[in-house]
Amino acid sequence: MKKSNNDNTKEPLKTDAGEPKPSNQKTEELLRDVSHPDDQFLTTNQGVRINDNNNSLKAGERGPSLLEDFILREKITHFDHERIPERIVHARGSAAHGVFRVYESMSKYTKAGFLTDTSRETPVFVRFSTVAGSKGSSDLARDVRGFAVKFYTEEGIFDLVGNNIPVFFIQDAMKFPDLVHAVKPEQNHEMPQAASAHDTFWDFISLMPESMHMIMWAMSDRALPRSLRMMEGFGVHTFRLINDKGEAVFVKFHWKPLLGVHSVCWDEAQKISGKDSDFHRRDLWENIEKGNFPEWEFGLQIIPEADEHKYPFDLLDPTKLVPEELVPVQRIGKMTLNRNPENFFAETEQVAFHPGHIVPGIDFTNDPLLEGRLFSYTDTQLSRLGSPNFHEIPINRSIAPVHNNQRDGHMRQTINAGGTNYHPNSIGGGCPFQAKMADGGFVSYTEKIDAVKVRNRSESFRDHFSQATLFFHSQSPAEQQHIVDAFSFELGKLERPYIRERMVGVLTQVDKTLATKVAANLGIPVPNGPERPMNLGVSADDKGNHEPVSAKPVIEKSPALSMANTVKDTIKTRKIAILATNGVSGSSLNTMKATLQNEGAAVKVISQKLGSIQTEEGGAIPVDGSFLTEASVVYDAVFVAGGKKSLSALAGDPDALHFVNEAYRHCKAIGTEKEGSDFLNATYIGNKASQSKAPDPGVLIGMNPKDFVSAIAQHRFWEREMARKVPA
C-alpha cells in the first residue's frame, strides 16, 4: 500500500470545474475524517487491523461459524443498529453546510455576537424537510417544508428551527400530538403515505378552526416548491432580542431566497414524484456540487415592546403573522450554502435541532406552542439518538468551548480529567466558574409575570379567520384557483361525506366564493355556515364561551403573501431542455445553448436516443438524455432547435409531442425557430392556435434568444392553465 508523506491531511474539496470548494474550517476539522485515504488499513472499531474481510471464522472450511469471531460479530452488530428511529415528523430531509455574515451591526437590538460583528463569518448547517412523510417518501408531496438552521456561533449553538410557512396549524403545544396523529397514515391500514388527503386529517382540521390560516398556506402553491433553493423560511414564533443594556424588542425571523420564491403545479408534482422522488434532494446536491451556491438574506421584523398590543392579533399567537406592510422586513445579513455533507447519516440524519438552543441576545416569549417545543425537542433527541450526550456527535458540537459538570451517560465521548464534577467546589479551584453578564453569561429576560394558574387561552387568540381571508385575497387569480383545486382534490378523497360538508362550512368563514367553488367541485350544496359549536378543541366547560370570532382583516391585501410578486429577473440554475435529433441546425442549437448557459441556466440536449446527433452542417453534438429517461416535468422550459430534418422527425415522434404538450400544460416557456411552427402544429399548441388567433403567452417562435431568457425568468405563464384539455 502506498504511504502518504503527509499524514493526517486530505486533498481540498473541489467543484466539478476543478476549483477549490469553500471550507468552513471551524467545523470541518470536527466533522471530517482527516486521515489520508492512502494511509488507511481496514480495522475493527477498536483499531485492530483486519487480515480477511471476506470470510467468517469457522470450524473447518465447511464447518459452523464460531461465536469467538469478534470481527464478524462487531460488523454484524453495527449493521443491525445502523438505523435509528426516524423523526416522527420531518423524517424526510436534505441538508448542507454554509456560512452566515451580518451586513450591519444589530447591536441596537441584540448583543448576539453573530448579529453584531460584521467581520465574523458564522458556520451554519441547514436541514430542509417535509413534515408528514417517512424517510422514503417523495420530495414533492403537498406538505409544509421544514427550514432549520444551526448557527455554530462563538457564544454557543443557536438553532432557528422553522418552516417555509410563517404560521402553524395550532396555538398550543397540547394539540401537537393530535395534529400529527391525524395527518399521519391512518392507523388501521397505514395509508396514505405523505399525504393529508384523508379522513382523519380533515376531521381534525374541520373541528379546529384555529388551523384555517395555516391550511390556506398548505393548500396554496407554497406547499409545492420548485426547489428548496427557491422557498422562504420563517421562524414562525415571536422571539425577543435583548441588547447589552437589557432592553428588549419582539422579533420575527425571515429567510428570503435570492433566486425568488417559485412553485410547481399539482399535476406536475404528482408526475415528478413518479419520475424522480428525490427531485428536491438532487437539485440541492447537484447545484452545490456545481458551485451554484444557494443564498438567502436574513430578515427581521422588529416590534417594540410598547407595540405588543397595537395590532388586532396577538403577537404570541403562532397561527398569526405580522403583515410586512405593517412591519417591513429588514434584511440584515446573508446565508450561503457552499458544501454538501460527506456522510448523510452522520450529518443530515444525526443533526439534532432544538428551539431551546439560544445564545445571549436572543430569548423566548410566552407563545404556548413554542413553550411546548422547548420540552419536546430534547425528549425527541433522547429517543432518536439514545443518549443525553447527543451534543457530542460531531455535527451537533459547539465550536465554543464546553465546560460543565455533566458526566457519564450512554455513549459519553468526552474524557474529563480532574477530581470534581460538582459546583461549588474548592478541590478543583472552583472551576468551571459562573460567567458574569459582562463575560457573556446568559441571563433570561426579566419579564414581569403576575397571573392565576389556569388551563385556558387568551381571548386575543379567538380570531381564526381574518388572516386566512387576508391570505386568500392577497393571492393572484391563478394562485386562488390553485387553492380551490387543492381543497377540491383533498376533500374529494374523503370517504365520509359529513367531514367534507363540515369543512366546506368552515370555508364559508374564510371566503364565500372559495367555499362555493369548492362545493361545486364536490357536488354538494354550500352550507349556510359552519356547524356549531365550531371549536370542539376547547375545555368541555367552555364551549359556549370560546367560539371563534370573525374580525376584519387589519389590511385588505398583502402583496408580500403572493408568489406572483417574487423575483423574476434571473434564470440562474433553471433547467432547460433542448429537443433535437439528426439533421438539427447546429447553429440554432449551439447559439441558444450558449445564451442560456451564459445566463447561468443548466442546459441538456434531449433526443430519441443517447450518443450523439448529426447536424445539418455535418458536425456532431453529444446527447445528454433521451425521451426514455427524461420528462418535461423536471425542466423549467423547452426549446425545440431548428433544422428541417430534425423538426420533421420530432413531429412524428409521440414522445417529443408529449414532452412539449406537457410543458405547455404546466405553463412553461416554450421556444422554437421560425421553421419550428410546423412542429408546433403537430402539438396541442398548433391545434389551439387554429382555434384562436390570440398570441399564446410564453410560446415564442423565431424569437431572439434573449427574449426566451426573459420568458423563462417569468417562471410560469399561469393564464395558460385554464386550458384543461391539453393531452398530457
Active site residues: 90, 163
Residues 504 and 527 sit within 8 Å (Cβ to Cβ): yes
Burial class (CB in 10 A: 0-12, 13-18, 19+), 382: middle
Torsion angle defined by CA atoms of residues 682, 687, 689 and 690, in that order, rounded to the nearest 10 degrees: 110
C-alpha grid cell, residue 561: 403573501
Q: How far apart are CA 678 and CA 657, in angstroms?
A: 12
Nearest Cα residue to 284 out of 227, 348, 334 = 227
Largest CA distance in the chain: 93
CB 201 within 8 A of CB 183: yes
Question: 589, 621 in Cβ contact below 8 A?
Answer: yes
Question: Strand runs (DSSP E) across 340-385, as ranges?
Answer: 362-363
Of 394, 326, 561, 542, which is closest to residue 455 (Cα–Cα)?
542
Residue type for position 38? D
Give one DSSP letter per residue of 570-609, joined into a string. --TT-EEEEE--TTB-HHHHHHHHHHHHHTT-EEEEEESS
**Distance in Å from the first CA to the final CA of the chain:** 57
Q: HSE, CB side, 13 Å, CA atoms: give it for residue 533.
A: 15
| C-alpha to C-alpha distance for 555 and 323, rounded to whole angstroms | 8
Report how far residue 27's alpha carbon sits from residue 121's, in angstroms, rounded to the nearest whole number: 12
Contact yes or no for 461/208 (Cβ under 8 A): no
List the one residue out of 708, 724, 722 whose CA is nearest residue 588. 708
Q: CA quadruple 484, 490, 493, 494: dihedral positive or negative?
A: negative
**Strand ranges for 598-722 from DSSP E:** 602-607, 612-614, 620-622, 625-626, 637-640, 669-672, 699-701
Residue 212 is placed in which grid cell?
A: 384555517
Distances from the Cα of 575 to the Cαs of 66, 143, 155, 566, 638, in angstroms?
56, 23, 41, 19, 9
With H, G, I as helix, E, B as strand and everything else as coil, classify residue 251.
strand
AA letter at 580: A
Residue 381 parent element (H or E): helix 368-385
Instruction: Report the C-alpha gap between 332 and 299 in whole angstroms.
Output: 6
Helix/strand/coil percent split, the chain, to 5:
35, 15, 50
E strands along 210-268, which residues?
Answer: 233-234, 239-242, 248-257
| Grid coordinates given for 241 | 432580542
